[in-house]
Structure 1
């Protein structure tokens, strides 16, 4: 039963502290769930008020709110937004590598004394057992994980501390958790829930369609054709814009080529010095860089309303990444363009990035060290095994998933009491890694499917995320050309979102239809595109009982 008193408190706080006269659909339900002590996973488009989901309830809770956020620029933007409200109840502090030890202690004191409500912090800070203990003493009443898709998109790659956030939440006393992201497909949502240890969370997926974004994709038979199509976009003269490329070298080379062609362009990637990256962020925000050529490292934390276009000159690794990156365009609600210039060769590059499964020998040896000498800190494990921090984080996470490792108090890693033998647990971990890679390859396949879509692109993109659009989007190249056809849910042997089973691939869910093809998301092997006539004639799928 919904409490009118709780709703009234939330609406009053939203109005008096933030100046919001009304709350958007879904916001109030999520806020009520948080005040009742429930976990929340919110997938909402940029500009839809995700931050409000934790900011308003935080003012009604007794202890401080810990906001775990991946980038300092993103944290600073959110802190600035709270400060501009001008209320003492919305005081926010940050603990990061940018603050001196004295400033960090002052921030902790402000939280202890009740003079600050929000603590912004990165996963890397919380990986330090001493820092985690300091934050635990604050007795936080709520944990907000911003850009929560990074748990899946980055955790397996270069931000292993994201994988430990579930342990962090438990170490903080298991307050309610609200996980926020602008893009998360069903597998990523499942990953977020599992990684954070969310308990029967309220899941909100709302309005991922952005009608002001024009969706366009062109197959480029040659690199010269791709260059000419990009030149045609730039000739229209609208700026600022972002060009996404897959590699650091590609960012540098394309920016140089654009400058040689008379365009004001800069490049950005994760291999640059932190100071240089921060300077480029600031210059782009100040409209001093009309064209930014960048890898996927650029954009998070860029709350810039007037980006007029986003172009990709290679196939992204997944629709998850693509929706996140094109979502940076047109935040002011005005028309903006998204242009995907792809070649078949791009898919091979993404498969290269996926890499190979970790070696069973490394996993076996790590499991053996934990069994013989654990619990050990990550630093001690690095010394014993010779593994780097990134690789160690990946392997420990895999072992945890198959019952071969557990993170205990103080961040020490141990072998569980009833863990399988090292050789057995290594084989299980390799199988899990291969399953994850199969899923990632299927996501790349879905990105290729979007690029090749002959019908409405809006429908194709939203179907991947489990959202159904019963009408053509009207804002893509195929719709404008008259190729978009409505999907009324009547095509195909099963309604969208039906749970089905395949004899070889196991259980899955019907995600959508296009022409005579259907997309099914299988739990074990990821996304598969099947022929509807073949499925119907051969009975390849059967509906699972509810």
Structure 2
């Protein structure tokens, strides 16, 4: 029956990885957790069994979905396949709701889509579910975009937590949770908060081999750069530009339209009719580019998105992965470009710290997630794909990237220096070993190792730890790469711990290979890069060729010296971004005017020239 429905209704010749296994598990009455990348085929895992009558349970499949636009898209495609599906939501007219509700309560629908808020607020809906269950016509409950149940997920919805109601009221009815973005602690949250009973877990690789990842410095002319890029490389191709606010969406769309680009904006402040108009226009290719907040694109099945651009940093890597995953669902090459500036990072951090909805612990967790994004942006050495997949607990060999990210391509322009970091690695591992039950995240351990004295570190007495500050001579980026390497090689690992509030957090613990370094003499050698070629194309301040770039072999050492100065003086404030430090190492400014013109320099950082002045003078004398 399963294969018959696959071929005759869905017109598909075969299943993708893990689809059949997930379908068989839910038809056998088991709880199921499906973790598949965007475009991996999650929807079929519950849409197909909804049409199969020979399962342990049969009747109506209830699908909990977070967005009306997502429900509309799914129901539209199901109706096109002659499948009895409908949605009940507050935006429908009273007569529409009554008609759909009558079909629902009498068991005439194969699938019905509901919002989590509808489950929480409507006694009428809960009574209808109870009536279906009594008549043995409730087949299963599906929670789509299940990461919304976790406050560490990138799109937390409080009403998702109330969905534990289903397992409390109907423990024998199978549940299925599906998401494209969940690392280990989000997965634990989902299982815990939905009360899933020993769910069968099905996971595909998170690697999207057709996507190209790139991070670019964000300049004042960024919108003009994007417009030129679209008109040059993506003429008449479909794309999404993610912006951080409603105003940014509207302003960016208006400015792109001035360049002849067919674009529009999409955000939560628009009417439902306007959002639907824009979404339909984009899906039918009347609109080429959507400038949107993260409200756009979840679950939308448009296969030919050739580019996804982040105009502003996402708040976490889960959100970044899901949003980039909307590109290239047809398997063809697509580009994922993020524009990065330290100013955006500080703005987002300020918004988190001012958020009255978050307590101190939650603010700290969200700031940590933002710092993971900035580390991703500033790491110009390690494979982008490898960095993202490690975050999702997936091991990936860099050579399998096949130069599908900017770091792997740029590696051709750098010489690799294999540096023995064993002494530092031992200190990091010993630091973790001496924590004695003190739960610290990767970010917090990095802060202890570099000698930070934040309130949390001092109040916990960690500033007295013998390994506190043992990495203070290393630039921040090198510390981050050291931790990345230790995690990747299994010397350290992250352990998810459920807290009293019912949410999981990842804490750093010793990995299975820790003793290889501590007692078996294993060396820790990490590749660092330095430029192979001069950058003669960089204009000098006077407009002539920049002769100061004649000695690129000093760049790595200069950069380290400047980073060390930055670290010693700044501690917990930011004197300069990594982009600025690299440009400073290249140009070695001797006046405040030259200093103020460095790449990425911001007004509030120009005051720090005197902190760098001595080391800049010494480096310039060494070079000359």
Partner of residue 124, structure 2: 130
Report whether the alignment pairs 1:236 with 2:232: yes
Bigger Cα displacement from structure 2, 284-293 vs 108-117: 108-117
Q: TM-score, normalised by structure 2?
A: 0.64
Q: Among 90, 97, 109, which residue is 1:116 paired with?
A: 109
Tell me by how many angstroms 1:156 deviates: 9.3
Tell me by how many angstroms 1:456 deviates: 0.8
Tell me by how many angstroms 1:241 deviates: 1.3
Q: Among 406, 411, 416, which residue is 1:477 paired with?
A: 406
Tell me by how many angstroms 1:50 deviates: 0.7
Aligned mates of 1:507, 1:204 — CA distance in 2: 30
Partner of residue 422, structure 1: none
Equivalences for 1:245-394 in 2 at 5 Å?
245-355=243-353
Aligned mates of 1:458, 1:464 — CA distance in 2: 10
Partner of residue 580, structure 2: none
CA deviations over 1:101-124 (Å, ceiling 9, x no partner)? 443343343345443211111112
Partner of residue 401, structure 1: none
CA deviations over 1:468-510 (Å, ceiling 9, x no partner)? 1134312111112236999xxxx9989xxxxx86436438899
Distance 1:536 1:269, change over 3 A: farther
Partner of residue 503, structure 1: 436
Distance 1:331 1:68, change over 3 A: same
8 Å Cα contact 2:442-2:507 kept in structure 1:
no
CA deviations over 1:61-117 (Å, ceiling 9, x no partner)? 32211011122221122223222333xxx3112212243344334334334544321
Bigger Cα displacement from structure 2, 434-443 vs 273-282: 434-443
Partner of residue 46, structure 2: 54
Q: Among 455, 463, 467, which residue is 2:390 paired with?
A: 463
Aligned mates of 1:153, 1:256 — CA distance in 2: 34
Q: Identify unmatched segments of 5+ residues in structure 1.
A: 1-8, 359-390, 392-429, 495-499, 540-546
Aligned mates of 2:340, 2:265 — CA distance in 1: 20
Tell me by how many angstroms 1:155 deviates: 8.5
Q: Identify unmatched segments of 5+ residues in structure 2.
A: 427-431, 444-478, 488-492, 498-504, 520-624
Distance 1:300 1:308, change over 3 A: same
8 Å Cα contact 1:455-1:514 kept in structure 2:
no
Aligned mates of 2:92, 2:238 — CA distance in 1: 32
Tell me by how many angstroms 1:514 deviates: 8.3
Aligned length: 441
Structure of higher CA gyration radius: 2
Aligned mates of 1:170, 1:53 — CA distance in 2: 24
Aligned mates of 1:288, 1:535 — CA distance in 2: 60
Distance 1:349 1:41, change over 3 A: farther
8 Å Cα contact 2:163-2:194 kept in structure 1:
yes
- Where 1:54 maps in the other structure, the secondary structure is helix
- Where 2:269 maps in the other structure, the secondary structure is coil
Q: TM-score, normalised by structure 1?
A: 0.72
Report whether the alignment pairs 1:442 with 2:368: yes
Aligned Cα RMSD in Å? 3.5
Aligned mates of 1:158, 1:183 — CA distance in 2: 12
Aligned mates of 2:392, 2:442 — CA distance in 1: 12
Bigger Cα displacement from structure 2, 203-212 vs 312-321: 203-212
8 Å Cα contact 2:184-2:496 kept in structure 1:
no
- Where 1:341 maps in the other structure, the secondary structure is strand
Distance 1:99 1:259, change over 3 A: closer
Distance 1:171 1:434, change over 3 A: farther
8 Å Cα contact 2:441-2:508 kept in structure 1:
no
Tell me by how many angstroms 1:231 deviates: 3.6
Q: Among 494, 517, 520, which residue is 1:521 paired with?
A: 494
Bigger Cα displacement from structure 2, 134-143 vs 258-267: 258-267
Aligned mates of 1:450, 1:155 — CA distance in 2: 18
Bigger Cα displacement from structure 2, 111-120 vs 137-146: 111-120
Partner of residue 66, structure 1: 62
- Where 1:93 maps in the other structure, the secondary structure is strand
- Where 1:440 maps in the other structure, the secondary structure is helix
Partner of residue 81, structure 2: 85
8 Å Cα contact 2:181-2:318 kept in structure 1:
yes
Distance 1:164 1:73, change over 3 A: same
Tell me by how many angstroms 1:27 deviates: 1.6
Q: Among 11, 18, 35, which residue is 1:19 paired with?
A: 11
